[in-house]
Structure 1
Amino acid sequence: MPTEDELDRKYPRPEGISVVVPVRNSIATIDVQLQALAQQDFDGSFEVVVVDNGSTDGITSFIASHSLRETLKLRCVSAPSVPGECHARNIGIAAAVHSFIACCDADDAVSAGWLTALQAEATRYDVVGGPLEKTTLNDPIVATWRDVYEFGGLPTCGNFLPFAQGCNTGFWKAAWDAIDGFDETLIAGGGDIEFCWRAQLAGLAIGYAPGALVAYRFRPSIRQSWRQVVTYGRGQAAVVARYRHHGASRNSLPYLYGWIGHILLTMPIFPWSWNRSRLGAWIWSAGGLWGCLSGGARQRFLYF
């Protein structure tokens, strides 16, 4: 008789995985990720496909001569025509040789059990996501600026469906093909949210792999952090506006008032209050609100 695990299976166990890593001028950080991928305890076969999205830092040559190119079955494909991770991921997935895809980013570091954990859940789900942690790759002060989605399940957005974060996600190539891949019009962020929502609305199943841990790297400067969170907010607003007729929505007005109140109360007004930890956290909160509101305004939709 089949076991309970076998009865619960939707797919066979993936024996091979293609890891897709979109890059754009990532030569300063990608080696940490490649070293982490080389430490995988995965007992199957895997390749690493680096997708160059218009870099000018010589990363294609760097990958071609990398010391791990044989170990990782490492190769680089070019995707310069459309800016953004969505286009880069689509090009990399199309070039992948395996039927199960794992996506990570060039500036993070996957844990040794990352691929094994994704593989374990891949038999039951079309799309799988895992948790992040913020202490390994970040300065202790920078790590206080914001939180990440750690253990406890997949994040949600817009009071709607869960999603797997693009820097830590796995899915079957057949599922990607069934929904026509990532939406390349979402250049400024939100592509991972939209992909997962579209998959679920098409009847595909999304699951959580708690062992698929990724060390996430924050932007180290105040200016970079502001730009990133504003981009995140605008990307979320664009996706929520698109799916509001399916049930996605903004938060309540008391939530907005509370957010504004928090920004005002924690604003570092006096010179002695402008320490880097407090300023970074305030920038993340204020920039997040500005990103949501300005992004919503572009969509003619109040989002926060």
Structure 2
Amino acid sequence: MDISVIIPTYNEEKYIETCLRSLKCQDFSGNYEVIVSDGSSTDATVEIACKYADRVIVDRKDTIAYGRQVGSMAARYPVLAFTDADTFIPSDWLSSLAASLEDSRVVGVHGKLLPLDGNRFEQEFCNYVLPPFSRFMVQINKPSVPGSNFAVRRRAFNKVKGFNTKLVTGEDVDLCNRIKSLGRFVYNPDAVVYVSTRRVRQWGYLKMLSFYTANTIRYHTFGSVSKYFEPIR
């Protein structure tokens, strides 16, 4: 099994090197490539990415969904894995995702998020609250997928025509809820990604929880998501 990893970026010079360096250390036995899809950053993001990524694509500044789509179109391999620039990727990430996809009935998988720079409360929340929620959403066939940690089969991605590039948020959930009609979607807690808490720091717990809860309910009830998502750098 060979995997293309796609990372959308825009002005991520503070984080992108940590992410890309960690992806260089995967214990994955198959072939994999790392594609950075940049939305015309005005900082050193592209320069840094060129040191580590297999391919860096610079396109116009647009939605994160557009960035993911552009990167996906350039991918060579039959599995597309997605993460974000403000992450640290453990060495067994790709192996864990691939293990779930060994079952030919599975068209997609998402993993577990842990805080990269979080406090004890945030660690406990991500370890003991989010996993049961993720399992439940998969069990009721409404996967609540984090854009920084999921993978899909390319044939399924192509069949649903990829991301809705008009979405400014929720593009990950939307894609996977369209793909689920083509096979099983699973949750694998062994596929871990560490994510920056920068949005939590700026928004606070109440705003963060209320936004994502409301967005999840809105999508699964009405098929729509928020039209505004504040950029945090």
Bin the TM-score by the shorter chain.
0.7 to 0.9
Greater RCO (Cα-Cα under 8 Å, separation 6 or more): 2
Deviation of 1:123 (Å): 2.4
Q: TM-score, normalised by structure 2?
A: 0.81
Aligned match of 1:173 = 154
Aligned match of 2:90 = 111
Structure 1 counterpart of 2:159, one-letter code: A
1:57 aligns with 2:43: yes
Structure 1's 145 and 23: CA in aligned 2 closer, same or farther, altered over 3 A? farther
Aligned match of 1:123 = 102
CA contact (8 A) 2:83 2:149 kept: yes
Aligned match of 1:79 = 59
SS at match of 1:210: strand
Percent identity between matched residues is: 24
CA contact (8 A) 1:143 1:218 kept: no
SS at match of 1:196: helix
Q: TM-score, normalised by structure 1?
A: 0.64
Greater Rg over alpha carbons, structure: 1
1:38 aligns with 2:14: no
Q: Hey, what's the Cα distance between the residues in 1 that align with 2:179 and 2:156?
A: 8
Point out the more displaced range, 20-29 or 210-219: 210-219
Counterparts of residues 160-239 of structure 1 (less than 5 Å): 161-187=142-168, 189-200=169-180, 202-219=181-198, 222-225=201-204, 232=212, 235-236=215-216, 238-239=218-219
Structure 1's 25 and 142: CA in aligned 2 closer, same or farther, altered over 3 A? farther
Higher strand proportion (structure 1 or 2): 2
Aligned match of 2:231 = none
Structure 1 counterpart of 2:114, one-letter code: E
Aligned length: 222
CA contact (8 A) 2:107 2:182 kept: no
Q: Hey, what's the Cα distance between the residues in 1 that align with 2:199 and 2:153?
A: 34
Structure 2 counterpart of 1:50, one-letter code: V
1:132 aligns with 2:132: no
Deviation of 1:23 (Å): 0.7
Deviation of 1:22 (Å): 0.7
Unaligned residue ranges in structure 1 (runs of 5+):
1-13, 245-291, 299-304
